[in-house]
């Protein structure tokens, strides 16, 4: 992504972007790949499970409204500013108090280096389909290394979803 101090500061600002909890309808994407048989304590309190992990892009450091998100796992380097992940949960537990979700997101770049984000989200009582989202990128295009990125989402330090996306160079001019 950038190595200059200004670029690093911009990336750090973006890392704290909009981890949003939305009451939404479960996505139609594929089920989230849960790489761990352990269940986070906060998931037990919610009687929750991850049901989908999807990706989309925006031109600004602001998440798109759910209705306008174009989900994909393929991004063109010269066209991509910010890439967002969206994790849909299904929570069955009847509860009268808010449940705290400590989230860690590990972005593994194609060259093997990692970038980590942390945030805490509070899930309100009665919310059955929480949607967690976060993004990373830069105002200028071209900052994404071409190749495969791996994203691992941990709740209570336990992996609950894992997914990947590709960043490509544009092959033909005008396409």
pLDDT tens digits, one per residue of 27-44:
333 446 655 578 898 888
Q: What is the mean pLDDT of the chain?
A: 81
Give me the CATH topology for the region 5-168.
Answer: Immunoglobulin-like (2.60.40)
pLDDT above 60: residue 145: yes
- pLDDT category at 13 given cuts 50, 70, 90 is very low
pLDDT above 90: residue 125: no
What pLDDT does 38 receive? 86
pLDDT above 90: residue 173: no
User: How distant, in Å, are the alpha carbons of 7, 8, 14, 23, 103 from that of 138?
Assistant: 8, 10, 8, 28, 22
Question: Among residues 27, 39, 30, which one has the least CA distance to residue 165?
Answer: 30
What pLDDT does 21 receive? 33
pLDDT in tens, 70-116: 999 999 999 999 999 999 999 887 888 899 999 999 999 999 999 99
Q: Cβ of 60: how many Cβ atoms within 10 Å?
A: 12
- pLDDT category at 65 given cuts 50, 70, 90 is very high
**Whole-angstrom distance, CA of residue 70 vs CA of residue 159:** 25
- pLDDT category at 20 given cuts 50, 70, 90 is very low
| Residues 73, 55 contacting (CB under 8 angstroms) | yes
**Structure tokens, 167:** 């960043």
Q: Cβ of 21: how many Cβ atoms within 10 Å?
A: 16
User: How distant, in Å, are the alpha carbons of 2, 49, 53, 109 from that of 130?
Assistant: 33, 10, 12, 27
- For the chain, the domains span 5-168
Read off the pLDDT of each residue in 119-126 and give the average, rounded to a whole number: 89
Burial 130-158 (b: 16+ CB within 10 A, else e): bbbbbbbbbeeeebbeeeebebbbbbbeb
pLDDT above 50: residue 11: no
pTM of the model: 0.76
What pLDDT does 12 receive? 35
**Structure tokens, 164:** 């990947």
């Amino acid at each position: 992504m950038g190595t200059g101090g200004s670029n690093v500061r911009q990336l750090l600002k973006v890392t704290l972007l909009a981890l949003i909890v939305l009451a939404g309808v479960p996505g139609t994407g594929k089920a989230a790949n849960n790489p761990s048989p352990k269940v986070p304590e906060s998931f037990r309190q919610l009687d929750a499970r991850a049901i989908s992990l999807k990706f989309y892009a925006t031109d600004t450091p602001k998440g798109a409204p759910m209705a306008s998100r174009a989900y994909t796992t393929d991004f063109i380097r010269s066209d991509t500013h910010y890439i967002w992940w969206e994790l849909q949960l299904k929570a069955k537990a009847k509860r009268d108090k808010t449940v705290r979700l400590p989230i860690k997101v590990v972005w593994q770049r194609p060259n093997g280096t990692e970038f980590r984000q942390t945030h805490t989200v509070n899930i309100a009582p009665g919310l059955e389909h929480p949607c967690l989202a976060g993004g990373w990128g830069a105002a200028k295009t071209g900052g994404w290394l071409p190749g495969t990125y791996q994203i691992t989402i941990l709740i209570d330090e336990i992996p609950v979803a894992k997914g990947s996306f590709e960043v490509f160079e544009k092959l033909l001019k005008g396409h």
